[in-house]
Amino acid sequence: MSKVYLIGAGPGAADLLTLRAARLLAEKAEIVLADDLVSDEILAMVRPEARVLKVGKRGGRASTPQGFIHRLMVRYARRSGCVVRLKGGDPYVFGRGGEEVEALALAGVETEVVPGLTAGISVPAAVGIPVTHRAYTQGVTLVTGTSGDGCTEPNWPALARSGTTLVIYMGLSRLLNIVARLIAGGLPPDTPAAAIASGTLPAQRHVKGTLADLPARVCAEGLTSPAIIVVGEVAALAVEAAGSQDPSIRTLAA
Ligand code: SAH
């Protein structure tokens, strides 16, 4: 029986992959079970002899049930040499890596986790937002904006009072609701906020404003998932979107 590597592919850009991940993909992988979020540029780094299966999981779209992914991993681990489970960002940050390692352990399959850059930290950085900064905040909270799939709703009032930067994953489709709850929880409506879509990829776009006007800005700019939302003083440090004033520059940058 072989080992299953749970590899974090980072936020998107292939050169943000770790050296360990790149080496395993290019030299060892025989079967790769890849998430939707993994970019084509990264899939192109996989050994040409390897078989790549896309087992998409993305909010709002039909996705492969998690139990099926567990069974696939176990089946391939029993049959093949080196099995890679390739995930966007870091496998242990909203990536179900914990569940997958548990399922593999139950089936007696050895695993190794290769961390990746998580979107919540690397995507804000791509637009000049440091998630912590001594002048503004003493911490950062990474939180999911979804409450589906059997998960409980985050405690928005407590988050509103946390005094930390809030980095919200998977929050775009519920942005209006999240903003309303944070404001009801006591966060001032003029708190700086930003949303960044497809961070580190050629399609990267972002908007910045205040908590209260972020939903309208996201809508006006037509930002779509995957996106990270940042709420807190540090969001004001986002650099202006390239070409946001001049449509011809945006076309060149796209
Ligand atoms: N394990 C991943 C997160 C998976 S959950 C990680 O550590 O980054 C999927 C969510 O991650 C998306 O809905 C979005 O909120 C965020 N995300 C992932 N890649 C992104 C990117 N390139 N740009 C913006 N958000 C991204």
Positions of CATH 3.40.1010.10 in the chain: 4-114
- pLDDT of res. 147: 72
26-50 confidence digits (pLDDT tens): 999 999 999 988 999 999 999 999 9
Q: In CATH terms, is domain 119-237 a member of 1.10.150.20? A: no
Nearest to 17 by CA among 46, 48, 56: 46
Between the CA of residue 254 and those of 165, 196, 202, 205, what are the distances in Å? Answer: 29, 15, 7, 9
Positions of CATH 3.30.950.10 in the chain: 119-237
Question: In CATH, what is the architecture of 4-114?
Answer: 3-Layer(aba) Sandwich (3.40)
More confidently predicted of 73 and 191: 191
Which residue's CA is minimally distant from atom 18 of ligand 1?
Answer: 119
More confidently predicted of 61 and 180: 180
Task: Tell me the pTM.
Answer: 0.91
83-142 confidence digits (pLDDT tens): 999 999 999 999 999 999 999 999 999 999 999 999 999 999 999 999 999 999 989 999
Contact criterion met (CB below 8 Å) for 16 and 10: yes
Least reliable range by pLDDT among 151-155, 175-179, 244-248: 244-248
- pLDDT of res. 180: 98
Write the single-letter amino acid at 207: V
Contact criterion met (CB below 8 Å) for 35 and 57: yes
Spot the catalytic one: 35, 87, 90, 208. Answer: 35
Q: Is 57 a catalytic residue?
A: yes
Say if residue 8's pLDDT is above 90. yes
Spot the catalytic one: 73, 87, 90, 170. Answer: 170
Q: Which tokens belong to 232?
A: 């807190």
Distance CA 208, CA 145 (A): 18
At residue 138, the 3 state secondary structure works out as coil
Q: Which tokens belong to 94?
A: 């909203």
Q: How far is the CA of 79 from the centre of ligand 1 (A)?
A: 31
Pocket test for ligand 1, best of 42, 86, 94 (most atoms within 8 A of CB): 94
